[in-house]
C-alpha cells in the first residue's frame, strides 16, 4: 500500500482547468428498441477553484453528468478530462471526493471511523489519519460526535460527517450530488453557509448538483442550467456575487437578477420539450 501519489501529475498547459468535457453523449440501452438519450453534446470547462452548480429538473442528466466526471458511469461518446487525465485515472489518483445524496455512512463504524475509511483504504499512516480526522471533524463542527454512531446523529449531522469524509484525503475536487436534498430548509440554509465558508477557506473546485435555484445562486461562481430529454446545457451563468456571502445576500437585487436568469433558462428548457 503506497500513500496518495503527490504531487499529482497534471499537464502544464491546462492547469487552470479542473474538468474539461467535449462533445459528450450518453445513450442508455443504445442497442435496444427504445434507446434513451440521457446527455447530448455537452461541452464544458470548469475552472480550478470555482464552485459550479448543475441545475435542472429531474431527469435532465445533472447527476449522470457528475457520475461521468467521477468515473461511476461511462459516456457513450466524447472526451472527458479531469485534472488533465481520464476520469478513471483521476479516480485512481484520488483526485475527487464524492458526497452522495444520502450520507452513506457505514452504520457499524463510529463517525470518526467513517471519516477514517478513505484514509485506511488509501493507506495513510496512522498518525496522519488521526490528525486528518480531527481536522476535518472540526471543519464540519462534529468534534464532539467523533465516537457516536451514525444512527445517533440527525440527518444534517450525518451529511456533514459525509462531507468531512470526502474532505479527509484532501482531494482537489469535491463532487456533491444534491447533498442537502433530503434536509429541511432551516438545516439546509445553515449547511449552505457552512459549505460556502468551507469552500472559500479551502479553495477547492466544487461541482454541486441541485434543483434549488436559491441554493445554486447562493453557493456558485458559475451555474450550468441543464434541460431534459435529451439532457443538454441550456445556459451557463456566471455568478459574480462577492465571494464572502452571508445568507441575507439572497434579499439583494443582484441575487434576484441571477436567480431570474436561472429560472428563465429552466423555463426555456422546459418549453423546448412541450411547445
Partner 1 sequence: MSLPRPSGLTAIKTRGESQGLAWFLSQLWHHGVPIVGVGILLILVWYGGAILLNRGLAENYIHNQASGEAAQAQIPTAQWVWQSLNLDRPKLPAPDQILVELKKSIFEVPTSSKRSLVYHTLVTIKATLFGAGLGLGFGLVLAILLIYLRSLMASILPWIIASQTIPIIALAPMLVVILNQLKITGVLPKAMIAAYLSFFPVTLGMVKGLTSAEPLHLELFRSYAAREWQVFLRLRLPASLPYLFASMRIGIAASLVGTIVAELTKSEDGGIGSRLLAGSYYGQTVQIWAALVAASATALILVGLVSVTEKLMLRFMGSNGS
Residue of 84, 118, 156, 228 interacting with partner 1 (CB under 8 A): 118
> According to the binding rule CB under 8 A, does residue 122 interact with partner 1?
yes
CA–CA gap between residue 227 and residue 218 (Å, rounded): 21
* Residue 16 in grid coordinates: 487552470
CB 230 within 8 A of CB 269: no
Residues 6+ apart with CB under 8 A from 33: none
- The reply to whether 8 sits near partner 1 by the rule CB under 8 A is no
Strands (E), 138-181: 173-177
Is 134 near partner 1 (CB under 8 A)?
no
**Is 9 near partner 1 (CB under 8 A)?**
no
When the beta carbons of 39 and 70 are compared against partner 1, the nearer one is 70
**Measured between alpha carbons, how far is 126 from 128 in angstroms, rounded to an integer?**
6
CA distance 148 to 130: 16
Dihedrals φ, ψ of 45, to 5°? -125, 125
| Least Å from the CB of residue 100 to partner 1 | 6
When asked if residue 183 is in the footprint of partner 1 (CB under 8 A), the reply is: no
What is the number of other CB atoms lying within 10 angstroms of the CB of residue 257?
Answer: 11
- Please check whether residue 26 is in contact with residue 62, taking contact to mean a CB–CB distance below 8 angstroms: no
Hey, which residues does 81 pair with through a beta bridge? 20
- Least distance (Å) between residue 177 CB and partner 1: 10
Query: Which of residues 92 and 267 has its CB atom nearest to partner 1 in the complex?
Result: 92
Q: Does 102 bind partner 1 (CB under 8 A)?
A: yes
Check: CB of residue 254 under 8 Å from CB of residue 241: yes
By CB under 8 A, tell whether 204 contacts partner 1: no
Cα–Cα distance between 258 and 197 in angstroms, integer? 21
Binding of partner 1 by 106 (CB under 8 A)? yes
Residue window 150-179: x/- pattern of binding to partner 1, with contact defined by CB under 8 A: xxx---------------------------
Per rule CB under 8 A, is residue 100 in the interface with partner 1?
Answer: yes
Which one of the spans 113-121, 191-199, 207-215, 251-259 is the region binding partner 1 (CB under 8 A)? 113-121
**CA pair distance 18, 82, nearest whole angstrom:** 6
Q: What part of residues 26-85 is at the interface with partner 1 (CB under 8 A)?
A: 70, 72
Which of 135, 215, 146 is CA-nearest to residue 183?
A: 215
Which of 117, 183, 187, 241 contacts partner 1 by CB under 8 A? 117
Check the CA dihedral 190-191-192-198 and report its sign. Answer: positive
Q: Is residue 182 near partner 1 by the rule CB under 8 A?
A: no
Q: Which is nearer to partner 1, 51 or 96 (CB)?
A: 96
CB of 93 to partner 1, least distance (A): 8
Minimum CB distance to partner 1, residue 152 (Å)? 8
- The residues binding partner 1 (CB under 8 A) are 70, 72, 91-92, 94, 96-98, 100, 102, 104, 106-110, 117-118, 120-122, 149-152
Amino acid at each position: 500500500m503506497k500513500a496518495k501519489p503527490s504531487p499529482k501529475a497534471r499537464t502544464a498547459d491546462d492547469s487552470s482547468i479542473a474538468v474539461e468535457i467535449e462533445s459528450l453523449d450518453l445513450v442508455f440501452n443504445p442497442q435496444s428498441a427504445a434507446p434513451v438519450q440521457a446527455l447530448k453534446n455537452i461541452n464544458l470547462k470548469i475552472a480550478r477553484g470555482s464552485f459550479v452548480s448543475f441545475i435542472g429538473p429531474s431527469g435532465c442528466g445533472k447527476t449522470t453528468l457528475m457520475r461521468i466526471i467521477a468515473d461511476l458511469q461511462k459516456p457513450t461518446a466524447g472526451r472527458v478530462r479531469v485534472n488533465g487525465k481520464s476520469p478513471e485515472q483521476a479516480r485512481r489518483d484520488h483526485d475527487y471526493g464524492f458526497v452522495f445524496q444520502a450520507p452513506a455512512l457505514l452504520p457499524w463504524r463510529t463517525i470518526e471511523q467513517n471519516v477514517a475509511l478513505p484514509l485506511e483504504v488509501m493507506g495513510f499512516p496512522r498518525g496522519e489519519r488521526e490528525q486528518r480526522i480531527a481536522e476535518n471533524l472540526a471543519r464540519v463542527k462534529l468534534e464532539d460526535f467523533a465516537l457516536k454512531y451514525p444512527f445517533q446523529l440527525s440527518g444534517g449531522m450525518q451529511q456533514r460527517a459525509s462531507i468531512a469524509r470526502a474532505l479527509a484525503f484532501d482531494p482537489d475536487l469535491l463532487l456533491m450530488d444534491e447533498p442537502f436534498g433530503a434536509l429541511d430548509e432551516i438545516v439546509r440554509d445553515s449547511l449552505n453557509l457552512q459549505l460556502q465558508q468551507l469552500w472559500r477557506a479551502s479553495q477547492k473546485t466544487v461541482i454541486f448538483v441541485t434543483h434549488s435555484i436559491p441554493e445554486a445562486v447562493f453557493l456558485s461562481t458559475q451555474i450550468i442550467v441543464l434541460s431534459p430529454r435529451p439532457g443538454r446545457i441550456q445556459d451557463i451563468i456566471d455568478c459574480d456575487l462577492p465571494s464572502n456571502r452571508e445568507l441575507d445576500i439572497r434579499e439583494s437585487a443582484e441575487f434576484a437578477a441571477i436567480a431570474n436568469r436561472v429560472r428563465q433558462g429552466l423555463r426555456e428548457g422546459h418549453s423546448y420539450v412541450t411547445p
